[in-house]
Homo-oligomer: A and B are copies of this chain.
């Protein structure tokens, strides 16, 4: 193959992305310079954070340039190499883009991976990738749950949330998840072992406050927040003293023209509680430690992971938008080749 299909960002989405914000183009397969290597991408991770990278905002990494392919974590195989330590045939993962071929260089974020030691190589985009490590370090190090405490997880049926809930159970906590729809709520309890699930659909803030109070009768000690908006506001109304809110994401506002934030911030004073932002990039040096623990629990059957794999780079837009419509069931992954 000599073509490189690339899923480009053509203009910055205003609110909810539309297909016209992107373009799938075919370019020649890129060549590499000294110190570089060429990756044949097989799978791309689709994550809510990518929506933020499409905005022209001062964030933790530069915006995706207009006309560039959409940045994504991918896994693939080295096809050609002029870089030490990367040989053709080697599987790698890293922050690349939604395209057939990416050029990377030694000393960057691209890391070798071993497909032989995991059930599926795609697990490097879920349990053993940014998603799993976000859950692991975000819950255990930012939220510090203790046995017997109650942990509330929003976006609980999502890739990160479903793992967070299972990790919180392993820590001996009562775990309450919030998700959209009866099917997802059933999955939280039946498949991921949450103690209770709350369907946010059709509920206003007061109804959410009451639902959380019912399922967390001793109050909430930890919130692992992926959603924001009234979901977060309702959680804040149920905080216990010295509660910790780990702020992982705010998917409810990623497509809104203005930030939404949290209105019930005054609860932090009443309960001497805290909200702390978390980003998995801070823990890259410790991924080995986290992956080893996750592998151990997975092997013991104490953590399960679901992956929703859509097939074909031509479906990149529709697959990405599942994150916002909630029509995915598990970690959203795009199969490129």
Contact = CB atoms under 8 A, between A and B. Distances in A.
A247 B228 contact: no
A247 B60 CA distance: 24
Contacts of A52: 266
Contacts of A60: 269-271
A250 B277 contact: no
Contacts of A282: 272
A67 interface: no
A162 to B, nearest CB: 20
Interface in A222-269: 228, 233, 247-250, 253, 258-269
Contacts of A266: 52, 250, 253, 259, 261
A279 B274 contact: no
Q: How big is chain A's contact interface, by range?
A: 20 to 34
Given A260-B263, A266-B253, A274 B274 contact: yes
How many chain copies does the complex carry? 2
A221 B308 CA distance: 41
A140 interface: no
Contacts of A258: 263
Contact of A269 (B248, B262, B269): B248
Contacts of A275: 265, 268, 274-275
B277 A249 contact: no
A44 to B, nearest CB: 22
A221 to B, nearest CB: 15
A268 B272 contact: no
A278 interface: yes
Contacts of A272: 276-279, 282
B273 A274 contact: no
A265 B268 contact: no
A154 to B, nearest CB: 14
Contacts of A271: 60, 277
B259 A261 contact: no
Contacts of A300: none
A258 B233 CA distance: 12
Contacts of A274: 274-277
A59 interface: yes
Contacts of A253: 266
A315 to B, nearest CB: 29
Nearest to A272: B277
Given A269-B278, A277-B269, A264 B263 contact: no
A278 B268 CA distance: 8
Contact of A261 (B265, B277, B279): B265
Nearest to A253: B266
Given A250-B265, A269-B278, 8 more contacts: A249-B269, A253-B266, A258-B263, A261-B263, A261-B264, A265-B275, A269-B279, A275-B275
6 contacts: A259-B265, A261-B263, A265-B275, A268-B276, A270-B277, A273-B277
5 tightest A-B CB contacts, nearest first: A268-B277, A261-B263, A269-B277, A261-B265, A274-B276
